[in-house]
Amino acid sequence: MQTNVLIAGSGCAGMYCALHLPKDMKVTIITKKTVDKSDSFLAQGGICMLKSEDDYDSYFEDTMKAGHYENDKGAVEIMIKSSQDVIQDLVSYGTDFHREPDGSFSFTKEGAHSDKRILFHEDITGKEISSHLYDEVKSRSNISVIEYAELTDIIEEDGACVGGIVNIGGETVSIYADFVVLATGGIGGRYEHSTNYSHIRGDAIDIAKKHGVALKHLDYVQIHPTTFYTEEKEERSFLISESVRGEGAKLYDKNGNRFVNELLPRDVVTSAIYEQMEKDGTKFVWEDLTVIDPKELEEHFPNIVEHCANHGYDVRKQWIPVVPAQHYFMGGIDVDYSSHTSMERLYAVGETACNGVHGKNRLASNSLLESLVFAKRAAHQMAELKAEREVYV
């Protein structure tokens, strides 16, 4: 098979990248399972947006502080200043963010944010964004999607990536391409407890390592402080969004006492929970959502309310048990500001890539934004290179 751009992964980064490639370029998206089985569809909290220039310094500092000041300042600046443009794109595709009665955007707040700057759609923002991206992808005649197709290797010639080896229904197929984009997501499937789908195991990281492609900060793994604790065996840990703490939810020890400021960065809250669990000899701590107005719970967090109810907890009246679980990968394949890797014609976007935006710890709701901003930049560079040279292979 032959295509102009081969994209491995159907999350928001892969699809958004495809949508910003010229319509005269043939784009092939492959995905290990079905399109909706990407972690992008699971994102609950929301997506950050720079509300005004007055918020820039604060947003920049919040991102840097959460990342322990190990962030790449240039990448952070690009992400923040590109945010309004990305949101306009999403709205044009039909994404429905919550709005105020006057039609303006509603904003919520999460841990380590000094202001409300997060757009949301109930507690399924990722699904809202990704499903509309997929609708747009399906409408483009130059983009094809192959499900149950797993990238097992890339094809390297003279130090450049010229395609990928793909397992499609048990058959090995070579797909040659002018460019290859790795967008296979994070590494959650390697953990016993993770909010990620179990099949998302950082496949592209192994492939990159095999070919000597530069990697970065592979030990920078984020543990989310609050997932629903259950003794039942589930495919993945159910996330209790940080937004509930942004709206006032509290964390208690076994005796009902608060033990941490709930709005501190995720790694700090996670450490506090682990310490409290060890001190109390428990497998979880309690999270109190009863302090949130019932109407707010129903409108903003309907899926969390439903999930807890299915496990016997009425969040309007009862505390729920929560425990940390692996959530996000800040490291990955080392890329520049256009998402290009150390190998010619090979790109990496989304959680697979490491452009330095997040530093050592990701600020809440920066993941969707970062994925989209740098996926678009990758698309623009590939389009420019293709225009300069009509064909590669």
The pLDDT tens digits for 59-71 are 999 999 999 999 9
**Residue 266: active-site member:** yes
- pLDDT for 90-138, tens place per residue? 999 999 999 999 999 999 999 899 999 999 999 999 999 999 999 999 9
Cα–Cα distance measured from residue 180 to residue 341, given in angstroms and rounded to the nearest whole number:
10
- pLDDT for 295-316, tens place per residue? 999 999 999 999 999 999 999 9
Read off the pLDDT of each residue in 5-18 and give the average, rounded to a whole number: 98
Cα–Cα distance measured from residue 32 to residue 300, given in angstroms and rounded to the nearest whole number:
31
Nearest to 257, CA basis, from 225, 280, 226, 229: 280
The pLDDT of residue 45: 87
- pLDDT for 145-199, tens place per residue? 999 999 999 999 999 999 999 999 999 999 999 999 999 999 999 998 899 999 9
The pLDDT of residue 392: 64
Q: Flag whether pLDDT at 226 surpasses 90.
A: yes
Read off the pLDDT of each residue in 365-371 and give the average, rounded to a whole number: 97
User: What's the token pair of residue 133?
Assistant: 């991206």
Can you list the domains of the chain with their CATH numbers?
2-219+330-388 (3.50.50.60), 221-326 (3.90.700.10)
Q: Which residues contact 80 (CB under 8 A, 6 or more apart)?
A: 50, 56, 59, 60, 63
pTM for the full model? 0.92
Strand partners, 119: 47
Set 266, 345, 362, 377: catalytic member: 266
Q: Flag whether pLDDT at 201 surpasses 70.
A: yes
The pLDDT of residue 233: 82
Find how far residue 197's CA is from the centre of its chain.
Answer: 12
Q: Count how many Cα atoms sit within 13 Å of the Cα of residue 94 in the half-sphere of its side chain.
A: 10
Q: Which residues contact 236 (CB under 8 A, 6 or more apart)?
A: 188, 194, 195, 196, 197, 198
Sign of the C-alpha dihedral computed for residues 327, 367, 187 and 30 taken in this order: positive
